[in-house]
Amino acid sequence: MFRFSLFLLLVFFYSGLNAQLAEVVNNTTSGGDVIFGATNFTKTPVFLKIEFTELQNTTDDEIRIYYRKLSSGYNNIFNLTRHVGAGSPYFYYNVEAYRSDPVAKVDLDFPYLVPFTPGKTVSVFDVKDINGFWGNEKLKSWAATGFKAQPGDKIYASRTGEVVEIVEQTRTEESEFWYNTWTNIVTLLQPDGTLISYKNVIDPNHELKLNQKILAGQVLGEVAPGADGIIVLIYHNSGVNDDLLFVIPQFFIESGKVEMVNSLMSIKVVHPNEVRGLEMTKREQRKYLKD
């Protein structure tokens, strides 16, 4: 019975990958301009893509594809201005919505923090598979980083981001709004539009909130009971199909050294201020970074 129920959940999740996360509306003003807005039906940000297949009688006739990050609820997105002396704007468009930025500008050299307590020495392990991460579908390609750990070890954010999903041992949210199908996992939306998921990480004191900003080097949670390691995945929607694009991160290892990690490594964790502060505001730097 349990296996059958789990299979149904995976099917529902995969069907929900194309669920309606957002809806676009437009209204014409008395002057003939068109105001576009969109409603994000989820509790966390989504990324909207509007592709115009026909666009006439506006000052923006060259615009064909428009991207916008939407907050939860209603968002004003843009206006189409009518050409003076022309008829009413004429247009057709297609809409897609994503949980991450389909045109994310990924810096492959960005220095991620090793997500453990500074001063601790950690080992890396090879992740053999990520079965069950994306429903019952097999991903064409993927990348993941594994760190050996003990239950209760503190886990820190490798990079600044917004909390978009906190999942304990079981899932309770409607499946069409899931970011993946794993449990005991915390997912953040990063400033470049990619997602980072920490598998086998829990928030035992329920201190995390959706849309909360977590700074690089701040405590995210702890290793779940029974786990002997955590898995870190960084990825975003492709924008072309239902596939995900995965990022192989580089981690800050020691002063002046940033590189991809492998299972031969034993790393003494450091969280230098110059890395932690990369995506902080000036106010955050003054508040959280100490000499």
Closest CA to 174 of 48, 6, 46, 16: 16
Q: Are 56 and 145 in the same domain?
A: no
Percent of the chain with pLDDT over 70: 93
Closest CA to 234 of 104, 122, 42, 120: 104
Contacts for 59 with CB less than 8 Å, ≥ 6 apart: 80, 81, 82, 83
Q: Point out the domain boundary residue: 52, 75, 98.
A: 98
User: How many CB atoms are located within 10 Å of the residue 263 CB?
Assistant: 11
For residue range 102-155, list pLDDT tens digits in order.
999 999 999 999 999 999 999 999 999 999 898 877 788 999 999 999 999 999
DSSP 58: B
User: How many CB atoms are located within 10 Å of the residue 21 CB?
Assistant: 22
* pLDDT for residue 17 is more than 70: no
Q: Are 145 and 259 in the same domain?
A: yes
Q: Are 138 and 48 in the same domain?
A: no
Position of tokens 């297949």? 53
Any domain includes 3: no
Predicted local distance difference test score (pLDDT) of residue 19: 61
pLDDT-derived band at 61, boundaries 50, 70, 90: low
* Residue type at position 282: K
For residue range 195-228, list pLDDT tens digits in order.
999 999 999 999 999 999 999 999 999 999 999 9
Between CA 116 and CA 223 the distance in angstroms is: 10
- CATH of residue 204: 2.70.70.10
Predicted local distance difference test score (pLDDT) of residue 291: 62
User: How many CB atoms are located within 10 Å of the residue 94 CB?
Assistant: 11
Q: Are 49 and 161 in the same domain?
A: no
* Domain residue limits at 24: 19-98
- pTM of the predicted model, to two decimals? 0.90
Any domain includes 270: yes
The partner residues of 258 in beta bridges, in order of sequence, read 252
Q: Point out the domain boundary residue: 43, 77, 98.
A: 98
- Phi and psi torsions of 130, nearest 5°: -125, 40
Domain count, the chain: 2
